[in-house]
Every structure is written in C-alpha cells, then in structure tokens.
Amino acid sequence: MAHVLIIDDDPDIIDSLSMILEANGHSVDVKTDTGQLIEDVVKANPDIIILDVIFPEDPQAGFKAARTLRKSEQINHIPVLMLSAVNQRSNLAFSISNSDISDDFMPVEAFLDKPVEPRALLGKIDELLGVPQTSH
C-alpha cells in the first residue's frame, strides 16, 4: 500500500480523500499550502502526490508547484496526480484537461476532475504506482 501526500487547501477535500485512501490501506500525509515544498515533500517521502491547482495565495500555485517538483532531481521520480474543479466542464479557455499535461506547463503524470469518484481515484493511484488493476 502506498504513502500518499495530499497538497490541497480545502479541509473537506482532504478529509474525504483521506477517508477513501485510508479505508483502502494507504497512509496519508497532508500539506495545505505550496510553501517549503521540496523540504516538506522530502520529509513526507510519499510514494505519490495528489496536488490541487488553485490555492488562496496564488491561482496558479499548483502548476508552479508541479514545475518545482519536476525540477528537483531529489523528488522528480514521485508521480504527481493533479486534481482541479476548474476542469473542462467549466468550458473556459483556461479549463484544464489531460491534454494540458506537458513538461513546461503541467508536468504531472495524470489529471482528474474534482470531485473525483473513489473508484477512479484508487484506480489512477494504482495505475501510477504500477499496481495491477483490481476492483475497489
């Protein structure tokens, strides 16, 4: 089972995601902002990171954090799963989708819409960690 680091400012999202992950045998660490990113990630030593896009301090903090993580040789092997409510269903020019994943804009391994179905979340984590797919 994996050690998951959730980086999100919304306590309810953290709570609901933690419930799902812990019930499925994963352990969870939480970080509510993107400050001291490298130090905190190194300290938490997660197998996978779940990252929000919009933080109160900066609407693009999630993207910036993803780029910082990717640049760090110490931790760029840790897969990052990005979550956002400002997804394609918003029909806005800046809506995010899987097609936006790129090294210079959104350097993450996968993107999921918020709210995320528990099965989809667990399936994506297994996929990113190379665990054979099982029905959750």
Upstream peptide bond of 132 is cis (omega within 30 degrees of 0): no
Instruction: Kindly indicate which of the ranges 25-33, 42-50, 92-100, 104-112 contains the residues binding another protein, using the contact rule CB under 8 A.
Output: 92-100
Binding mask 17-36 for another protein (x = CB under 8 A): x-xx--x-------------
Binding mask 43-82 for another protein (x = CB under 8 A): -----------x----x-----------------------
Q: Report the C-alpha dihedral over residues 3, 97, 7, 70, rounded to 10 degrees.
A: 80
How much helix, strand and coil, in percent to the nearest 5, is found in the chain? 35, 20, 40
Nearest to another protein of 93, 133 (CB atom) = 93
Task: Note whether 62 and 83 are within 8 A (CB).
Answer: no
- The residue from 38, 85, 101, 112 that contacts another protein (CB under 8 A) is 85
Other Cβ atoms closer than 10 A to 107: 18
Binding mask 93-122 for another protein (x = CB under 8 A): xxx------------------xxxxxx---
